[in-house]
Amino acid sequence: MALKNRTTIKLNKKHEGKEFRNEFRFVGLVKPVRKKEVDGDNWFDVPFYQNTKTQTKKDRRVLQFNVETAYRNELKVELAGMEKDVAYIYSSKHKKSAPVDWNDRENKAAYPDETYHYIQQEWDKTEAISKYLVEGMWVDVRGHYEFDKFENDEGQEFKSVKRIIDNVYPLKNGEVEIKGLKKDDAFRVYDSESEGIQLGFGKANDEGVAAIKVGWLNPEGGELFVCKLDGETEGKRTKLEYTEDGVETDRITVRNNVTNDIQLIALDGKKEYVPYVRNFKSPDFFEVNSFEMQIGIKSTYQDEQTKDTKVNAVYLAYGKEKSVPKDVELTVYHKEAEEGKTPFADAFARLNRLDFLVVEGIDNNRAEFAMVEVEESEDDNPFEDVGEKVASYEQVSTGTKKGLEILTYVGGTYKKELLTDEEITEEQQNEDPFSSVNISDDDLPF
């Protein structure tokens, strides 16, 4: 993943304030968010999608779920939306957007011409994603962070980091192969006989075979529907029932629970496709969990013992009258560098207030474990001191690792004293730059 034009800082057209950008990508297993009862000790699963009311009695749609990117690293992602007065449409041909009445947002007859399309708003996006999201599916989530502060009932101030969903892409865990075709015959695969979610699209090759990657398929089996295209006109959908292994007919083969590729960005900046194993315990599994962020520096602190560096950064967000500075705390964990090189954490400790740079990192909310030897517990145990016994081990929790961890700096983006004190100073500023940070905890007001 990479921000476009990394060194370019967006300027607000109205007040010309700087507006930073960030993005994240998480690939993993969908799980429900769990919350504790307000007046009890029990925990419950929060529904993925809810229709709620705001304090002013306005309708509000909420989508929230956890993405497990690695064993016991569960990240809460969310999206909320309300109805608006105006929606926006965009034309690639004209390279501009235009406002339309909210009730006409999907009415193409109200558009200036046929080149415009609706820019889906949060109100519609939450519902659309909820229709195909199920517990246990694997997804590729793209989004961005929003930073804020809030006070609890005791008046304690907390910093919050929300992971806002931009798009959710189900991973392709199946294949549909159709034989006996003409080159370029095109097909779509759906999850239902009418309407429904499109699971895949493909065309026949020179050999007359269409190999279509599809997903998400139910790992235990289910049904899908295949239809042939004549231009953009769909033919009748053919129903196929499949098992955990798939199904095979004279011309169509469905394969289920297969390993498919995901797109990554190689070191040279080019796209590459690599097999992604959906099993945390497999030796071939690798974690896809990354963020990239433009930040300004307020202060840094390096621990004398661990040599880890805390980065107290500022993120300039959109504001109507001026850009709004948001506090962000990140960590650079110390690692020994090659001979003659500076440890990364040491370099960050030398950054100065008002500096600007772009960083890449990983989002942590993970339980950490260690294997420890089981000690003898019985008094007067005759085997306590013998040397011939076989040691046994058990897994124990060593705590949790939370927060945004910086892994690398994007070369060429460092700008010394690019910012001003006025830009990074809030009207009411917290004097403690390293106060506790809660990363999308269940206690946040969402």
For the chain, domain boundaries: 10-164, 174-259
pLDDT at 432 over 80: no
Cα separation, 211 vs 205, whole angstroms: 8
Residues 6+ apart with CB under 8 A from 421: 354
CATH class of 174-259: mainly beta
Joined together, the tokens standing for residue 27 give 């690939």
Is 398:329 a contact under the CB 8 Å cutoff? no
Is 25:34 a contact under the CB 8 Å cutoff? no
Per the rule left: phi > 0, alpha: psi between -120 and 50, beta: everything else, 231 is left
Is 68:51 a contact under the CB 8 Å cutoff? no
Higher pLDDT residue, 418 or 369?
418
Homologous superfamily of 10-164: Nucleic acid-binding proteins (2.40.50.140)
pLDDT score of 428: 55
pLDDT tens figures, 260-277: 999 998 877 889 999 999
Pick the closest to residue 67 from 159, 165, 161 (CA basis): 165
Neighbours of 257 (CB within 10 A): 16
Using alpha carbons only, what angle is made at residue 64 by residues 60 and 67, rounded to the nearest 5 degrees?
Answer: 165
pLDDT score of 268: 79
What does each C-alpha distance from 210 to 164, 175, 214 come to in angstroms? 36, 10, 12
Cα separation, 254 vs 101, whole angstroms: 44
Q: How confident is the model at residue 383 (pLDDT cuts 50, 70, 90)?
A: low
Long-range contacts, 420-425 (Cβ 8 Å, 24+):
420/354, 421/354, 423/17, 423/18, 423/296, 423/316, 423/323, 423/325, 424/296, 424/298, 424/314, 424/316, 424/325, 424/354, 425/325
Is 87:121 a contact under the CB 8 Å cutoff? yes
Across the beta sheet with 96-101, the strand order is 96-101, 86-91, 116-118
Residue 426 dihedral angles phi and psi, to the nearest 5°: -80, 160
Least confident of 98-112, 186-200, 429-443: 429-443
Percent residues over pLDDT 70 in the chain? 88
Q: Which residues pair with 315 in a beta bridge?
A: 326
Q: How confident is the model at residue 5 (pLDDT cuts 50, 70, 90)?
A: confident
Percent residues over pLDDT 90 in the chain? 78
DSSP state of 348: H
Least confident of 164-168, 204-208, 395-399: 395-399
Q: How confident is the model at residue 443 (pLDDT cuts 50, 70, 90)?
A: very low
pLDDT at 438 over 80: no
Pick the closest to residue 205 from 176, 231, 180, 183 (CA basis): 183
pLDDT tens figures, 231-264: 989 999 999 999 999 999 999 999 999 999 999 9
Check whether the bond before 102 is cis (ω within 30° of 0): no
pLDDT tens figures, 142-196: 999 999 988 778 888 888 899 999 999 999 999 999 999 999 999 999 999 998 9
pLDDT score of 436: 44
Mean pLDDT of 36-43: 87
pLDDT at 439 over 90: no
